[in-house]
């Protein structure tokens, strides 16, 4: 009984090591092709449209609701303390530092990452990737690099967009529900934000975008088992991206605000 449990634990550890090893190899090759090969601007722009422009409506909707809900929650406490004027400060800092980057990355991972894995996984199942290699076309250069660049560029822009929409949601509640002056809300918002807050919030989204692209492509390349395998790989890519995004966010927060404050 104990031997079977230890065998299962060992198998899971080996699978995890195999995953991170394969992901590291794919990352190295993708970075190499990014700097050595001529950039296919058309493919990058196409992926940027899919990842960025097509994600604007859902990012705006969710960010607006997040800003509204978070403002309501903060207002409930701040009204009891008689400090309503600081609601704008808390909302702005929370959105720019954490909520905006993380929520946007999770949205993109669920929407774009899943699509990337399904697309590449379908190509793997139908042997289109083998056909690319037969034609002496690198699948990493053709499939991974445009998605890696597009997500690394578009996720910071989407995050900035989400921050603005979320702060606007807080503005609506504070001004039209709580009776806070529009001037006071705007002043408290901009006085609270520092360049470091914006830099750390947007900077880590570049890493989030790279994580989503690499994990999604890796799972797509390793699809096995036909259409069922594509479904399993898509689910695994989304879940893994979520975990790595949260872990990366935790590490970056500790790094920027506690180790190098």
Q: Which two tokens stand for residue 177?
A: 């529900």
Query: CB of 185 within 8 A of CB of 85?
Result: no
User: pTM for this one?
Assistant: 0.92
The answer for residues whose C-beta is within 8 angstroms of residue 36's C-beta and 6 or more apart is none
Q: Domains of the chain: which residue ranges?
A: 41-254
**Tens digits of residue pLDDT in 53-77:** 999 999 999 999 999 999 999 988 8
Residue 179 neighbours by CB distance under 10 Å: 8
Q: Is the dihedral of CA 231, 235, 238, 244 positive or negative?
A: negative
How deeply is 75 buried, as exposed, middle or buried, from its count of CB atoms within 10 A (0-12, 13-18, 19+)? buried
**Tens digits of residue pLDDT in 35-50:** 876 777 888 999 999 9
**Tens digits of residue pLDDT in 173-188:** 998 888 888 898 899 8
Task: Answer whether residue 243 shows pLDDT above 90.
Answer: yes
**Tens digits of residue pLDDT in 134-193:** 888 888 988 999 999 999 999 999 999 999 999 999 999 998 888 888 898 899 888 888
**What's the confidence (pLDDT) of residue 192?**
85
Element (H, E) at 21: helix 2-36
**How far is 12 from 157, CA to CA, in rounded Å?**
37
**What's the confidence (pLDDT) of residue 62?**
95
Query: CB of 167 within 8 A of CB of 92?
Result: yes
**How far is 164 from 174, CA to CA, in rounded Å?**
15
Query: CB of 131 within 8 A of CB of 182?
Result: no
**Tens digits of residue pLDDT in 64-111:** 999 999 999 998 888 888 778 888 999 999 999 999 999 999 999 999
Q: What is the 8-class DSSP label of residue 52?
A: T
**How far is 152 from 31, CA to CA, in rounded Å?**
12
């Amino acid at each position: 009984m104990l031997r079977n449990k230890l065998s299962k634990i060992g198998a899971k550890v080996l699978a995890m090591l195999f995953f991170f090893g394969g992901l590291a190899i794919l990352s190295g090759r993708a970075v190499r092709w990014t700097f050595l090969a001529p950039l296919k601007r058309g493919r990058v722009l196409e992926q940027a449209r899919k990842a960025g422009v097509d994600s604007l409506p859902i990012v705006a909707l969710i960010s607006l609701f997040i800003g509204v809900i978070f403002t309501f929650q903060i207002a409930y406490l701040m009204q009891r303390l008689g400090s309503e004027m600081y609601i704008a400060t808390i909302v702005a800092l929370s959105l720019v530092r954490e909520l905006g980057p993380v929520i946007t990355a999770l949205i993109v991972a669920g929407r774009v990452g899943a699509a990337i894995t399904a697309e590449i996984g379908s190509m793997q199942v139908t042997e289109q990737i083998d056909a690319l290699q037969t034609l002496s076309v690198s699948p990493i250069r053709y499939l991974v690099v445009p998605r890696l660049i597009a997500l690394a560029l578009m996720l910071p822009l989407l995050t900035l967009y989400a921050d603005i929409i979320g702060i606007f949601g807080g503005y609506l509640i504070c001004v039209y529900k709580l009776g806070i002056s529009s001037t006071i809300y705007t002043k408290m918002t901009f006085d609270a934000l520092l360049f470091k807050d914006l830099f750390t919030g947007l900077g880590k989204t570049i890493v989030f975008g790279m994580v989503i692209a690499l994990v999604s492509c890796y799972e797509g390349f390793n699809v096995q088992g036909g259409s069922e395998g594509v479904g399993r790989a898509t689910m695994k890519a989304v879940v893994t991206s979520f975990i790595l995004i949260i872990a990366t966010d935790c590490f970056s927060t500790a790094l920027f605000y506690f180790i190098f404050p």
